[in-house]
């Protein structure tokens, strides 16, 4: 079996893993790649001339080109490895803020962002004396595009929006949003953490200036992510961190910086995790990203219909264009209580605010139960969720 962890028993029940928006499970070939690196290739990259260092460097840089092809970047120099989406966004927010943000400038974010795409911009705005503007969304979880366009002014410098909401499942029109931003002479950052494992992503087609995502949400190990940036934009930004690898020449009087992408990759990287990311991309392409998208769309439709048959259940996020994420509550039940009881019957879901407190404030709730899908999720898993809810909900009345 590709995913041995799915054979796990939870309280003598079959594990039904529906927490994929938090992290996906890892196929055996990804774990094997990680093990193989530490058992046969372990070496620091780029700086060594010995055999292991050369092999590790070649493999590492091959994954960079693999990521380039996977998201259709123009050049491998546009692919910067990070520890995950959070670090990718912080990198951009810090470097962009230092370079471009001035007092009275503005950054636009959507009202459905993960905290990782809110707080870094708040910090950048606080440092610069700039202002954060927010795109509202409807009860269904759809961004108000008329308000979005009205938010631009001569002081707007950047828009940051997720491709897919981790709580509502909304697939946002990031290509259209980018076109609007560029018409106003404004750069666009897309948080793709919840998109890359579930649908084809073409950064040139989207047109965005930055696209950020994590490996662990796309079947790769934790601790690795990607920050894509247009080459001409990255060339203008200052480094995010200082240290080894990102330098060209260092004296006590002045330091000159390395070429892209190394200017943004200070220190020793997590080489094994990057190789695991390559194996994860191989796995996804073997399954077929279009096949994954179709499969999850069918599951979303099936699960939505089944859940709405449960009395007093309400779904938060009913946009016409959604990914495989369903957030819900039943009656007055607390999300934590529902999730805890579901765990007792082997069903793993996520509860709480999902690092999207502004969304919860928008609906006047404290949290939801969230079920989220992956390529290995099936209708039997959905049926187990429904059966589990029907079993545990009477205990909460």
Is the pLDDT score of 237 beyond 80?
Answer: yes
For residue 1, the model assigns a pLDDT of 66
Say yes or no to pLDDT of 91 above 90.
yes
Boundaries of CATH 3.40.640.10 in the chain? 29-285
Q: What pLDDT, on a 0 to 100 scale, did the predictor assign at position 282?
A: 98
Please, what is the average pLDDT of the chain? Answer: 95
The per-residue pLDDT for 244 is 67
pLDDT of residue 20: 98
- What would the pLDDT profile of 334-390 be if each residue is shown by its tens digit? 999 999 999 999 999 999 999 999 999 999 999 999 999 999 999 999 999 999 999
Q: Which residues pair with 81 in a beta bridge?
A: 226
pLDDT at 232 over 80: yes
- Tell which CATH architecture fits domain 29-285: 3-Layer(aba) Sandwich (3.40)
- The active-site residue, picked from 125, 161, 212, 355, is 355
Cα angle 100, 173, 300 (rounded to 5 degrees) comes to: 135
Backbone φ, ψ for residue 244 (5° rounding): -70, 160
> Does the structural domain 4-18+288-396 have CATH classification 3.90.1150.10?
yes
Provide the pLDDT for residue 395.
Answer: 85
Structure token pair of residue 170: 């909304």
Residue 30's pLDDT band, with cuts at 50, 70 and 90, is very high
Average pLDDT over residues 61-77: 98
Give me the mean pLDDT over the 143-148 stretch.
98
Segment among 71-80, 138-147, 255-264 with least mean pLDDT: 255-264
Q: 327, 324, 322: which is closest to 369 by C-alpha?
A: 327
The CA-CA-CA angle for residues 186, 190, 191, to 5°, reads: 145
pLDDT over 70 at 258, yes or no: no
What is the percent of the chain where pLDDT is above 90? 88
Q: Which of 110, 58, 87, 82 is nearest to 359 (CA)?
A: 110
Q: Is 355 a catalytic residue?
A: yes
| Residue 393 scores a pLDDT above 90 | no
pLDDT grade for 194, boundaries at 50, 70 and 90: very high
pLDDT tens sequence across 268-319: 899 999 999 999 999 999 999 999 999 999 999 999 999 999 999 999 999 9
Angle at Cα 18 formed by Cα 113 and Cα 192, nearest 5°?
30
Q: Boundaries of CATH 3.90.1150.10 in the chain?
A: 4-18+288-396
The DSSP code sequence of 364-390 is: T-S-EEEEE--TT--HHHHHHHHHHHH
Cα–Cα distances in angstroms (integers) from residue 156 to residues 101, 120, 146, 183, 386, in the given order: 9, 17, 16, 12, 46
């Amino acid at each position: 079996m590709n995913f041995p962890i799915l054979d796990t028993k939870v309280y003598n029940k079959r594990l039904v893993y529906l927490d994929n928006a938090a992290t996906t499970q890892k196929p055996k070939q990804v774990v094997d790649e990680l093990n193989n690196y530490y058992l046969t290739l372990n070496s620091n990259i780029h700086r060594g001339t010995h055999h292991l260092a050369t092999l590790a460097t070649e493999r590492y840089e091959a994954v960079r080109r693999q990521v380039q092809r996977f998201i259709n970047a123009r050049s491998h120099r546009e692919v910067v490895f990070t520890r995950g989406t959070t670090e990718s966004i912080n990198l951009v927010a810090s470097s962009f803020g230092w370079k471009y943000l001035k007092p009275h400038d503005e950054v636009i974010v959507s009202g459905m962002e993960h905290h990782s795409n809110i707080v870094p911009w708040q910090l950048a705005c606080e440092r610069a004396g700039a202002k954060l503007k927010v795109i509202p969304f409807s009860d269904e979880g759809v961004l108000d595009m008329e308000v979005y366009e009205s938010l631009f002014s001569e002081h707007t410098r950047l828009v940051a929006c997720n491709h897919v909401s981790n709580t509502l499942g909304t697939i946002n029109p990031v290509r259209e949003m980018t076109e609007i931003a560029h018409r106003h002479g404004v750069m666009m950052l897309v948080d793709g953490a919840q998109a890359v494992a579930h649908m084809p992503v073409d950064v040139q087609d989207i047109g965005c200036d930055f696209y950020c995502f994590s490996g662990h949400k796309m079947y790769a190990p934790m601790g690795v992510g990607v920050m894509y940036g247009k080459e001409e934009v990255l060339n203008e930004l200052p480094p995010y961190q200082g240290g080894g690898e990102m330098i060209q020449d260092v004296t006590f009087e002045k330091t000159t910086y390395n070429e892209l992408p190394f200017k943004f990759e200070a220190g020793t990287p997590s080489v094994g995790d990057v190789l695991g990311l390559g194996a994860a991309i191989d796995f996804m392409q073997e399954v077929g990203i279009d096949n994954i998208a179709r499969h999850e769309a069918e599951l979303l439709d099936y699960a939505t219909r089944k859940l709405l048959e449960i009395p007093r259940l309400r779904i938060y996020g009913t946009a016409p264009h959604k990914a495989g994420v369903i957030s819900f509550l039943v009656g007055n039940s607390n999300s934590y209580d529902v999730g805890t009881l579901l765990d007792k019957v082997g069903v793993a879901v996520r509860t709480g605010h999902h690092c999207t407190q502004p969304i919860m404030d928008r609906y006047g709730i404290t949290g939801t139960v969230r079920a989220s899908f992956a390529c290995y999720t099936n209708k039997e898993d959905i049926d187990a969720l429904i059966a589990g809810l029907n079993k545990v909900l009477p205990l909460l009345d």
